[in-house]
Amino acid sequence: MLRVLLSYRYFILSSIKNEFKARFARSKLGGLWLVIHPLAMVLVYALILSELIQVKFPGAAIDNAYPIYLTAGVLAWFIFSETVLRSLNLFIDNANLLKKIAFPKAVLPIILLGNVLLQSLLLLGAILLVFAFLGHFPGIQILWLPLLFLVTLLLGFSIGLILGILNVFMRDIGQIVPIIMNFMFWLTPIVYTLAIIPETYRHWFAFNPMAHLAGAFQDVLLYNRAVDLSIMGVLLAVALGLLSVGAFLFKQAKAEMLDQL
């Protein structure tokens, strides 16, 4: 398996490059759009909500804590939602390829993850630039980021893979998931802090994996706090568990999926 993937490395790399180019094929700003979208979102929230919600940041000793908090959460959400939504249409989008050419199917998720990673890194770069403008320089804890990226990508992909397989047969899923994702965004402390939630509801957030991940991104980028490894361990285990469910489904459904596409 690994050797097959290795022999397709040129295809994987050129696909990542091509897909990236294809998304912005006829636009002037090209890849910049990728960064502009989430940052514009941050700007909107920062302008409107920072006045409406008086969020307190006791742990951060800087002025512009809210936009930084917001941006850290948006980065986590971007990685997760991008992976989920792309995996959701992984097979449908590649139907043309799957139907016409025989190739190891495992290259598709790798290309997808490579693409999301590339975009996330670009976004991270832009975010660090914005931070610098705001006078904020993340500390040494930023070294946790690779782990956080990995867990978020893996979690997003394992959920997306299961949904993506089902989506081939039940296209309603492709319509429902974006709506659910929208709800999940607001159920995750990204634009607000957990502190403004009434005590009685707060424990429910423990069941939202993205609440933990967004929290970890905020810890690392804003508070310069270390990541809680036990929680990351649990999340990683959940992601791997879901991934094996996805892999099992793929194995069972592969033949019918090719018939159906």
Residues that bind other proteins (CB under 8 A): 7-8, 10-11, 14-15, 18, 22, 25-26, 96-103, 166, 169-170, 249, 252-256, 258-259
**Residue with Cβ nearer other proteins (108 or 214):** 108
Shortest CB 237 distance to other proteins, Å: 22
Decide whether 17 or 56 has the Cβ nearer to other proteins. 17
Q: Are 50 and 66 in contact (CB under 8 A)?
A: yes
Residue/partner pairs of 247-255 with CB below 8 Å, 24 or more apart: 247/161, 249/161, 249/162, 249/165, 250/105, 250/161, 250/165, 253/165, 253/168, 253/169, 254/105
Residue 19, SS3 per DSSP: helix
**CB nearer other proteins, residue 2 or residue 101:** 101
Closest CA to 90 of 13, 19, 139, 161: 161
Minimum Å distance from CB 252 to other proteins? 4
Shortest distance, CB of residue 240 to other proteins, whole angstroms?
20
For residues 25 and 140, which CB has a smaller minimum distance to other proteins in the complex?
25
> Please, is 148 exposed, middle or buried when counting C-beta atoms within 10 Å of its C-beta (0-12, 13-18, 19+)?
buried
CB nearer to other proteins: pick between 163 and 232: 163
Supply the minimum distance, in Å, between the C-beta of residue 253 and other proteins: 6
**Whole-angstrom distance between the N-terminal and C-terminal Cα of the chain?**
24
What's the min distance (Å) between Cβ of 87 and other proteins?
18
Closest contact distance (angstroms) between CB of 35 and other proteins is: 21
Return the number of the residue (74 or 90) whose C-beta is nearest other proteins.
90
Residue 106 burial class via C-beta count within 10 angstroms: exposed 0-12, middle 13-18, buried 19 and up:
middle
Answer yes or no: are the C-beta atoms of 83 and 239 closer than 8 Å: no
